[in-house]
Amino acid sequence: MSLEGRIERVSIISKHPSYSAAWGEYKERQYPIFNGKEYIGKDCVVRFSIKEYRGCQWGNIIAEDLTIPTGLAPEEFILVGLWVPERDGFISQLTIHDINRLYDPGEIPWFIYCEKENSPNFGRWIVYSHENHKREATEEEPLLLRRLRKQELPDPTRASRMILCESKHQLKQIEALMKEDGITPIRMEPLRK
Protein backbone atom coordinates (compact mmCIF):
# COMPACT_ATOMS: atom_id res chain seq x y z
CA MET A 1 0.00 0.00 0.00
CA SER A 2 1.32 3.42 -0.94
CA LEU A 3 1.32 6.05 1.82
CA GLU A 4 1.21 8.98 -0.63
CA GLY A 5 -1.15 11.63 0.77
CA ARG A 6 -2.75 9.25 3.30
CA ILE A 7 -3.93 10.05 6.83
CA GLU A 8 -2.57 7.47 9.30
CA ARG A 9 -1.90 7.04 13.03
CA VAL A 10 1.85 7.20 13.69
CA SER A 11 3.93 6.74 16.87
CA ILE A 12 6.45 9.58 17.21
CA ILE A 13 9.49 7.82 18.66
CA SER A 14 12.72 9.86 18.53
CA LYS A 15 14.53 12.99 17.34
CA HIS A 16 15.49 13.30 13.69
CA PRO A 17 18.68 15.16 12.67
CA SER A 18 16.54 17.76 10.89
CA TYR A 19 15.75 20.86 13.02
CA SER A 20 12.12 20.28 14.07
CA ALA A 21 11.51 16.78 12.72
CA ALA A 22 11.22 13.45 14.53
CA TRP A 23 11.14 9.81 13.55
CA GLY A 24 7.68 8.29 13.42
CA GLU A 25 6.87 4.59 13.29
CA TYR A 26 4.09 3.21 11.15
CA LYS A 27 3.66 -0.54 10.56
CA GLU A 28 7.17 -1.26 11.88
CA ARG A 29 8.84 1.21 9.47
CA GLN A 30 10.29 4.59 10.39
CA TYR A 31 9.51 7.84 8.57
CA PRO A 32 10.66 11.42 9.19
CA ILE A 33 7.81 13.59 10.50
CA PHE A 34 7.99 17.38 10.02
CA ASN A 35 7.40 19.37 13.25
CA GLY A 36 7.41 16.09 15.16
CA LYS A 37 10.03 16.77 17.84
CA GLU A 38 7.45 18.25 20.24
CA TYR A 39 5.39 15.05 20.00
CA ILE A 40 8.02 12.41 20.86
CA GLY A 41 6.44 9.60 22.88
CA LYS A 42 2.94 10.27 21.51
CA ASP A 43 0.74 8.76 18.84
CA CYS A 44 -0.47 11.36 16.34
CA VAL A 45 -2.58 11.67 13.24
CA VAL A 46 -0.18 12.25 10.35
CA ARG A 47 -0.68 13.14 6.70
CA PHE A 48 1.99 11.55 4.53
CA SER A 49 3.51 13.58 1.69
CA ILE A 50 2.44 13.07 -1.91
CA LYS A 51 6.03 13.06 -3.15
CA GLU A 52 9.21 11.81 -1.62
CA TYR A 53 11.39 14.45 0.02
CA ARG A 54 15.13 13.81 0.17
CA GLY A 55 14.60 10.28 -1.08
CA CYS A 56 11.91 9.14 1.36
CA GLN A 57 8.27 9.55 2.36
CA TRP A 58 7.76 12.28 5.02
CA GLY A 59 4.77 12.98 7.22
CA ASN A 60 3.11 16.08 8.65
CA ILE A 61 1.53 16.30 12.11
CA ILE A 62 -2.20 16.99 11.78
CA ALA A 63 -3.49 16.31 15.31
CA GLU A 64 -3.07 14.41 18.57
CA ASP A 65 -6.78 13.63 18.73
CA LEU A 66 -6.80 9.88 18.15
CA THR A 67 -10.58 9.82 17.66
CA ILE A 68 -9.96 11.31 14.20
CA PRO A 69 -10.46 8.66 11.52
CA THR A 70 -7.24 7.31 10.00
CA GLY A 71 -6.46 4.89 7.19
CA LEU A 72 -7.83 7.37 4.64
CA ALA A 73 -6.66 7.83 1.06
CA PRO A 74 -6.20 11.44 -0.14
CA GLU A 75 -9.52 11.53 -2.03
CA GLU A 76 -11.42 10.42 1.10
CA PHE A 77 -10.68 13.46 3.31
CA ILE A 78 -10.28 17.21 3.46
CA LEU A 79 -8.33 19.15 6.09
CA VAL A 80 -10.32 21.79 7.96
CA GLY A 81 -9.33 24.21 10.68
CA LEU A 82 -9.99 27.46 12.52
CA TRP A 83 -8.07 30.68 11.95
CA VAL A 84 -8.99 32.97 14.85
CA PRO A 85 -7.63 36.45 14.04
CA GLU A 86 -7.69 37.46 17.72
CA ARG A 87 -5.50 34.43 18.56
CA ASP A 88 -3.57 33.82 15.37
CA GLY A 89 -2.99 37.38 14.24
CA PHE A 90 -4.89 39.97 12.26
CA ILE A 91 -3.41 39.64 8.80
CA SER A 92 -4.70 41.71 5.91
CA GLN A 93 -3.66 39.07 3.38
CA LEU A 94 -3.36 35.59 4.82
CA THR A 95 -0.68 33.49 3.11
CA ILE A 96 0.32 29.84 3.02
CA HIS A 97 3.41 30.84 5.03
CA ASP A 98 1.11 32.23 7.79
CA ILE A 99 -0.85 28.96 7.86
CA ASN A 100 2.31 26.87 8.11
CA ARG A 101 3.22 28.70 11.34
CA LEU A 102 0.00 27.38 12.97
CA TYR A 103 -0.77 24.12 11.14
CA ASP A 104 1.24 21.60 9.10
CA PRO A 105 -1.00 20.51 6.21
CA GLY A 106 1.76 19.40 3.85
CA GLU A 107 1.84 20.42 0.20
CA ILE A 108 -0.78 23.10 -0.45
CA PRO A 109 -0.68 25.23 -3.59
CA TRP A 110 -3.81 27.04 -2.35
CA PHE A 111 -6.72 26.73 0.08
CA ILE A 112 -10.13 28.20 0.83
CA TYR A 113 -10.45 30.77 3.61
CA CYS A 114 -13.89 31.76 4.97
CA GLU A 115 -14.13 35.04 6.85
CA LYS A 116 -16.61 35.52 9.69
CA GLU A 117 -20.17 36.45 8.83
CA ASN A 118 -19.88 39.78 10.68
CA SER A 119 -16.52 40.68 9.11
CA PRO A 120 -16.41 43.81 6.92
CA ASN A 121 -14.68 41.57 4.34
CA PHE A 122 -17.16 38.69 4.70
CA GLY A 123 -16.81 36.24 1.87
CA ARG A 124 -14.72 33.40 0.57
CA TRP A 125 -11.11 33.75 -0.38
CA ILE A 126 -9.00 31.38 -2.37
CA VAL A 127 -5.45 31.88 -1.09
CA TYR A 128 -2.71 30.95 -3.55
CA SER A 129 1.03 30.76 -3.00
CA HIS A 130 1.51 34.18 -4.59
CA GLU A 131 -1.79 36.08 -4.54
CA ASN A 132 -5.33 36.21 -3.11
CA HIS A 133 -8.60 36.06 -5.03
CA LYS A 134 -11.85 37.03 -3.33
CA ARG A 135 -15.08 35.16 -3.90
CA GLU A 136 -18.25 36.83 -2.68
CA ALA A 137 -20.61 34.99 -0.34
CA THR A 138 -24.05 34.21 -1.69
CA GLU A 139 -27.40 33.53 -0.08
CA GLU A 140 -26.92 29.90 -1.08
CA GLU A 141 -23.78 29.46 0.99
CA PRO A 142 -23.98 25.63 1.23
CA LEU A 143 -24.18 25.39 -2.57
CA LEU A 144 -21.16 27.67 -2.92
CA LEU A 145 -19.12 25.57 -0.52
CA ARG A 146 -20.15 22.34 -2.22
CA ARG A 147 -19.18 23.78 -5.62
CA LEU A 148 -15.82 24.88 -4.26
CA ARG A 149 -15.17 21.42 -2.85
CA LYS A 150 -16.17 19.52 -5.95
CA GLN A 151 -14.85 21.74 -8.72
CA GLU A 152 -12.18 24.02 -7.39
CA LEU A 153 -10.10 22.22 -4.77
CA PRO A 154 -6.76 20.73 -5.77
CA ASP A 155 -6.50 17.21 -7.07
CA PRO A 156 -6.06 15.24 -3.80
CA THR A 157 -3.47 12.98 -5.40
CA ARG A 158 -1.24 16.03 -6.07
CA ALA A 159 -1.75 18.31 -3.01
CA SER A 160 -3.59 18.67 0.31
CA ARG A 161 -7.13 20.00 0.22
CA MET A 162 -7.85 22.48 3.00
CA ILE A 163 -10.55 24.90 4.17
CA LEU A 164 -9.98 27.36 7.04
CA CYS A 165 -12.74 29.31 8.78
CA GLU A 166 -12.87 32.16 11.26
CA SER A 167 -15.83 30.77 13.22
CA LYS A 168 -16.77 27.42 14.76
CA HIS A 169 -20.25 27.83 13.25
CA GLN A 170 -18.81 27.97 9.72
CA LEU A 171 -16.49 25.06 10.47
CA LYS A 172 -19.39 22.87 11.63
CA GLN A 173 -21.37 23.77 8.47
CA ILE A 174 -18.44 22.84 6.25
CA GLU A 175 -17.83 19.58 8.14
CA ALA A 176 -21.50 18.63 7.71
CA LEU A 177 -21.42 19.41 3.97
CA MET A 178 -18.26 17.39 3.44
CA LYS A 179 -19.80 14.39 5.24
CA GLU A 180 -22.91 14.68 3.03
CA ASP A 181 -20.61 14.47 0.01
CA GLY A 182 -18.84 11.39 1.35
CA ILE A 183 -15.65 13.26 2.32
CA THR A 184 -14.26 12.93 5.85
CA PRO A 185 -13.37 16.33 7.34
CA ILE A 186 -10.13 16.07 9.34
CA ARG A 187 -9.93 18.89 11.89
CA MET A 188 -6.33 20.07 12.25
CA GLU A 189 -4.92 21.11 15.61
CA PRO A 190 -2.42 23.97 16.02
CA LEU A 191 1.17 22.74 16.22
CA ARG A 192 2.96 22.65 19.56
CA LYS A 193 5.74 25.20 19.70
Q: What does the pLDDT read at residue 114? A: 78
What pLDDT score does 69 carry? 93
pLDDT for 139 equals 44
Model confidence over 25-38: pLDDT tens digits? 999 999 999 999 99
- Tens digit of each residue's pLDDT (9 = 90 or more) over 153-192: 667 777 788 888 888 888 898 898 888 878 899 999 998 8
Do 154 and 109 contact (CB within 8 A), yes or no?
yes
pTM for the complete prediction?
0.85
Query: What number is the average pLDDT over the span 92-110?
Result: 81
Model confidence over 118-158: pLDDT tens digits?
655 555 666 666 555 555 544 445 555 555 555 566 677 77
Q: What is the mean pLDDT of residues 61-65?
A: 94
Instruction: Identify the residue with better confidence: 31 or 56.
Output: 31
